[in-house]
Amino acid sequence: MKKSKQTPDAMPKDHLTGNGGELHQVAGALHPPMTNQTGTIVSDDENQLKAGERGPSLLEDFFYLEKTQHFDHERIPERVVHARGFGAHGFFELTDSLAEFSKADVLTQVGVKTPLFTRFSTVAGNLGSSDLARDVRGFAVKFYTSQGNWDLVGNNIPVFFIQDAIKFTDLIHAAKQEPDRGFPQAQTAHDTFWDFVSLTPESTHMLMWIMSDRTIPRSLRMMEGFGVHTFRLVNAEGTSTFAKFHWRPKLGMQSVVWDEALKINGADPDFHRRDLWNSIDEGKPAEWELAVQLFDDAFADSFDFDVLDATKVIPEELIPLRVIGRMVLDTNVTNHFAETEQVAFRVSNVVPGIDFSNDPLLQGRIFSYVDTQLTRLGSSNYQQIPVNAPKCPFANMQRDGHMQTLPQKGRVAYSPSSLEADTPRQDPANGFKSFAEAMQGEKARVRSESFGDHFSQAHQFFYSQTETEQNHIVSAFIFELSKVDTKAIRERMLGQLANVDPAIATRVAAGLGMGGPIKPVATGIAARTDLKPSPALSMLAKAKETLEGRMVGCLIADGSDGELVLALETAVTKLGANFKIVAPKVGGAVAADGKLIEADFQLAGGSSILFDTVFVALSEDGAKLLSTEAAAVAWVHDAYAHLKVIGATAESKPLMKAAGVVSDEGVVSGGDADAYLTRAAKGRVWKREPKVRTIY
C-alpha cells in the first residue's frame, strides 16, 4: 500500500493522525489509520491473533473482541409500530404570527427558522418491510424551538381507528402479523385485522380513508400530514383556542395505483426513501405548508360531532385552513441509525403556548411515547442523543443513569438549595403552565355519548371523492376482504359498510361474489346523509397539474433518435422533473447518428412502475426487436394498465401493439415531445381505467 503524508483539505491533520498514525492512499483517496474505540491504532484488520500460524485464536485479542462485541449489539428493539421510517432535517419558517392565540415563540416569531427533524413511516410493517405497503404513513415532526422541543406526531390521515387509547394495543395486535404464524407482514389484508375492525364500528370512518389511495402515496413529498387531535393554543393572557394542524405538500398530492404499489414493493422496496433521499441530495428540498384550523368553545359546542373525538374531521368548508408557515426538508441524515432510528418522538413534548385537549386518544399517547423509548433506547438518558436533544439551554436536577454523557457539575443536585448560585430554579412566569380548564364530573370508565356516531362522516368522506376515487375505495375493500378466510368476518364487514351506505356494501359484495341480502350490523346511530360533501377531502379534486418533482422514463435501444431524446431531456428538466433513460443494457445504446446514449437503468431493473409517465423512443428496428422481449412488453403494458401517459415515436408501433396499447387521449404517438409533456402534466388517464380493469 502506498503511503502518503498529505492531509485531505476537509480534515484537520491532527484529528486523523494525532495518535501517531499515518494517512494511507487507496484508490486515490487518503484514509486515516483505523483505531479501536479508545484510539489505539489497528495494525491488522484481516486476521485474529492466533497461537501459531494454524493455531487457535487467543482471548487476548482485544481488537477482535471489541469489534465483534460491538457488532453483536448493533440492533436495538425496533418500534412496535412505525418501525419502518425515513427521516430528514430541515427547518420551519413562520410566515403568519399566531400571537393572538399562542405565546409559543415558534408560532409567533415571523421569519425565524426553527430547525426540525421529520420522520415518515409506515405503521404495521416491521423494519425490513416494503415502503409501498397499503398503510397509514406516520408524519412526525420534532421542532427544536427556542423554548424547548415541540413534537407534532401525526399521520397522513386526519382521523384514527379508535377513540380511546386503551384500544390501541388491540388495534395493533390485530393489524400486525398474526402471532401464531408470524405473518402476513406489513398488511391489513388478513383475518385478525378485519375481525377487530368489523367489531369496532368507531373504526369505520378510518377504514374509508385507508382503503383510499392516500395509503399508497407516490412519494413522501406528495402527501398531506395531520396532527389528528384537537390541541389547545394558549396565549399570554392564558386564553385558550382549539387548533388542528395540517401539512400541505408543495408538490401537490399524488398516489400510485394499487397494482403498481404491489409491483413497486418487489422492484424497489425502498421506493419512498430513495425518492426523498435523491431529491434532497439533488438539491431539491421537499416542502410543506403548515396550516391550522382555529376554533373556540362556541364552535366546539355547536359542531355536529365532538371535537375531542379523533375519528372525526372538521371539514375545511366549516373552519378554513389558515396557512402559517412552511417546512423545508433540505438535509439528509449523516447516519440513518444515529438519527432516524434513534429519534424519540414524544407527544408530551410541548412548549408554553401549546397544550393538550382532553381527547382520550391524545391523553393516552402522552404516556405511551415516553415509556416506549426506554425499551427502545435502553436508558432514561435517551434525550441526550443529538437528534433528541433540545437546541436551547436546558438544566435540571436529573442525574446519572445509563449512558450519561453530560458533565453534570457541582455539589448540588437538588432543589431548593443554597450552596451554589447558578443552579436552576423553577420559573413561574415563563414556565409551561397547563391551561386552567375547569373540571367536573364523576370518576368513571365511560365513552361520551357525543362520540356515538360512527358512520355519518364515513358516508360524507365516500361521497366527497371523485368517481375514480370511489371506485378505488370499493376495489381496495374487495382486495382486502378477499384475503379474509373467515366468511363470517367478511359478512360482518359488509354489514358495517351497509351502515355507511347500502350501495357501497352492495358494490363490495358484488366484487367478492357474495350474493344474498346484506344484514346491517345493529347500530345506535344511523349514518346521516345530509352532510355536505367536502371536496377538500378528495385528492384528485385538488391535484396539481404539474410534472415538478416527478420522474419521466424514456425507453431507448440501438437506432433511437438521439436528438429527440436530448430535446425531451431538456424539456423535462426545465419542468422540474427528472429524466431517466432505460435501455436493454445499462451501458446505453448507440443512437441513429452513431453516438452513445448512456442509460440510467437496464430494462429489467428500470420497470415503468418507477416513473410517473413514460416515453418510448424507439426506431423501427428497435421496436421490432423489443416487441419479443418480455421485459419491454411489460414495461409498456404496465405503463398503460397503470393509466400513465405514454409518449411514443411513430416507429415504436410494433412494441405498443405487442403491449396491447389502445390509442386514447393519454397515448401521444408521433414523437411530439411538447404535446406529450403537456398531456403528461395533467396526470393519469383515469378515463382509461374501465377499459383495463373491472369496476364494481
Residues known to be catalytic: 82, 155
CB-nearer residue toward ligand HDD: 344 or 610: 344
Handedness of CA 193, 196, 202, 208 (dihedral sign): positive
Confirm if 555 and 617 have CB atoms less than 8 A apart.
Answer: yes
Q: Which is nearer to ligand HDD, 97 or 372 (CB)?
A: 372
Give the residue with the Cβ less far from ligand HDD, 370 or 575.
370
Which residue, 343 or 614, has its beta carbon nearer to ligand HDD?
343
Phi and psi torsions of 642, nearest 5°: -90, 15
Smallest distance, ligand HDD to C-beta of residue 312, A: 12
Task: Establish if 217 lies at the interface with ligand HDD (CB under 6 A).
Answer: no
**109 or 372, CB closer to ligand HDD?**
372
In whole angstroms, how close is the CB of 370 to ligand HDD at the nearest point? 8
- The phi and psi torsions of 162 (rounded to 5 degrees) equal -130, 160
Q: Restricting to residues 218-277, name those near ligand HDD by CB under 6 A.
A: 228
Pull the grid cell for residue 29: 483517496
Task: Please choose, out of 74-82, 327-335, 383-391, 582-590, the segment that lies near ligand HDD by the rule CB under 6 A.
Answer: 74-82
Please say which residue, 202 or 569, places its beta carbon nearer to ligand HDD: 202
3-state DSSP assignment of residue 283: coil
Q: CB 210 → ligand HDD: shortest distance, Å? A: 13
Least distance (Å) between residue 226 CB and ligand HDD:
8
Spatial distance between the Cα atoms of 675 and 576, rounded to a whole number of angstroms: 17
d(CA 588, CA 597): 5
Please check whether residue 512 is in contact with residue 482, taking contact to mean a CB–CB distance below 8 angstroms.
yes
Q: Which stretch binds ligand HDD (CB under 6 A): 44-52, 301-309, 364-372, 499-507?
A: 364-372
CB of 357 to ligand HDD, least distance (A): 12
In terms of Cα–Cα distance, which of 371, 392, 353 is closest to 144? 392
Supply the DSSP string of 357-398, one letter for each residue.
Answer: ---HHHHHHHHHHHHHHHHHH-STTGGGSTTTS-SS----S-
Q: Near ligand HDD by CB under 6 A, which window of 78-86, 253-261, 410-418, 684-692?
A: 78-86
Closest residue to ligand HDD in the complex (CB)? 138
- Closest approach of ligand HDD to the CB of residue 361, in Å: 5
Q: What is the C-alpha separation between 140 and 123, in angstroms, rounded?
A: 12
Find how far residue 554's CA is from the centre of its chain. Answer: 28
Is 632 within 8 Å of 555 (Cβ atoms)?
Answer: yes
Nearer to ligand HDD, 141 or 673 (CB): 141
- Segment lying near ligand HDD (by CB under 6 A), choices 289-297, 319-327, 368-376, 537-545: 368-376
- Please check whether residue 663 is in contact with residue 650, taking contact to mean a CB–CB distance below 8 angstroms: no
- Subset of residues 110 to 169 that bind ligand HDD, contact rule: CB under 6 A: 119, 121, 138, 140, 153-155, 160, 165, 168
Contact range with ligand HDD by CB under 6 A, out of 11-19, 50-58, 362-370, 441-449: 362-370
**Percentage helix, strand, coil, to 5, in the chain?**
35, 15, 50
Residue in 361, 484, 618, 658 binding ligand HDD, rule: CB under 6 A: 361
Residue 104 or 140 having the CB closest to ligand HDD: 140
Which residue lies nearer to ligand HDD by CB, 381 or 506? 381
Whose cell is 380548564? That residue is: 437
Binding mask 274-313 for ligand HDD (x = CB under 6 A): ------------------------------------x---
Alpha carbon distance, N-terminus to C-terminus of the chain: 68
On whether the CB atoms of residues 614 and 639 are closer than 8 A, the answer is yes
- Alpha carbon of 284 to those of 39, 114, 250, 260, 279: distances in Å? 39, 20, 12, 25, 5
In single-letter form, the type of residue at position 339 comes to E
Q: State the helix-helix crossing angle for 502-512 and 487-500, rounded to 10 degrees.
A: 150
User: Looking at 115, 184, 252, 364, which residue binds ligand HDD (CB under 6 A)?
Assistant: 364
| Of 61-69, 230-238, 360-368, 456-464: span binding ligand HDD (CB under 6 A) | 360-368
Say whether residue 79 binds ligand HDD (CB under 6 A).
yes
In the bound state with ligand HDD, the residue whose beta carbon lies nearer, of 344 and 497, is 344
The nearer residue to ligand HDD, 374 or 406, going by C-beta atoms, is 374
Tell the smallest beta-carbon distance from residue 56 to ligand HDD (Å): 44
Which one of 91-99, 322-330, 366-374, 591-599 is the stretch in contact with ligand HDD (CB under 6 A)? 366-374
Among 82, 134, 205, 507, binds ligand HDD (CB under 6 A): 82
Closer residue to ligand HDD, CB minimum distance, 235 or 373: 373
Does the N-terminal peptide bond of residue 502 adopt cis geometry, omega within 30 degrees of 0? no
Measured CA to CA, the distance from residue 465 to residue 214 in angstroms comes to: 12
Window of 63-71, 75-83, 650-658, 679-687 that interacts with ligand HDD by CB under 6 A = 75-83
CB 552 within 8 A of CB 571: no
**Helix H segments across 393-517?**
456-462, 467-482, 487-500, 502-512
Distance of CA 637 to the CA centre of its chain: 29
Q: Which x/- pattern, by CB under 6 A, does the window 84-113 give for ligand HDD?
A: -x----------------------------
Region binding ligand HDD by CB under 6 A among candidate stretches 103-111, 254-262, 359-367, 412-420: 359-367
Asked if 365 is part of the footprint of ligand HDD (rule: CB under 6 A), the reply reads: yes
Contact residue for ligand HDD among 41, 49, 80, 389 (CB under 6 A): 80
Binding to ligand HDD (CB under 6 A) within 318-357 occurs at 343, 345
Binding residue (CB under 6 A) for ligand HDD from 368, 380, 384, 466: 368
Query: What residues numbered 476-505 form the site for ligand HDD, per CB under 6 A?
Result: none
Sites for ligand HDD among residues 371-390 (CB under 6 A): 372
Taking alpha carbons only, the member of 198, 160, 314 closest to residue 246 is: 314
For ligand HDD, the binding residues in 166-205 under the rule CB under 6 A are 168
Handedness of CA 423, 429, 432, 435 (dihedral sign): positive
DSSP string, 307-338: TT-TT----TTTS--EEEEEEEEEEE-S-HII
Instruction: Classify 480 as helix, strand or coil.
Output: helix
Collapsing DSSP to helix, strand or coil, 225 comes out as strand
- Rounded to the nearest whole angstrom, what is the least distance from the CB of residue 363 to ligand HDD in the complex? 9
Rounded to whole angstroms, the Cα distance separating 527 from 453 reads 7
Cell of 351: 412548549
> What track of x and - describes contact with ligand HDD for positions 505 through 524 (by CB under 6 A)?
--------------------
Least Å distance, CB 574 to ligand HDD, is 36
- Bridge-based pairing of strands 286-295 and 589-590 is unpaired
Contact with ligand HDD (CB under 6 A): which of 303, 369, 432, 601?
369
Q: In whole angstroms, give the CA distance from residue 347 to residue 362.
A: 8
Compute and round to an integer the Cα radius of gyration of the chain. Answer: 29
# of chain residues touching ligand HDD (CB under 6 A): 25
Indicate the angle between helix axes 191-198 and 487-500, nearest 10 degrees. Answer: 40
673-680 vs 562-574: helix crossing angle, rounded to 10: 40
Residue nearer to ligand HDD on the CB measure, 374 or 650: 374
Rounded to the nearest whole angstrom, what is the least distance from the CB of residue 310 to ligand HDD in the complex?
A: 5
The residues that touch ligand HDD, with contacts defined as CB under 6 A, are: 79-82, 85, 119, 121, 138, 140, 153-155, 160, 165, 168, 228, 310, 343, 345, 361, 364-365, 368-369, 372
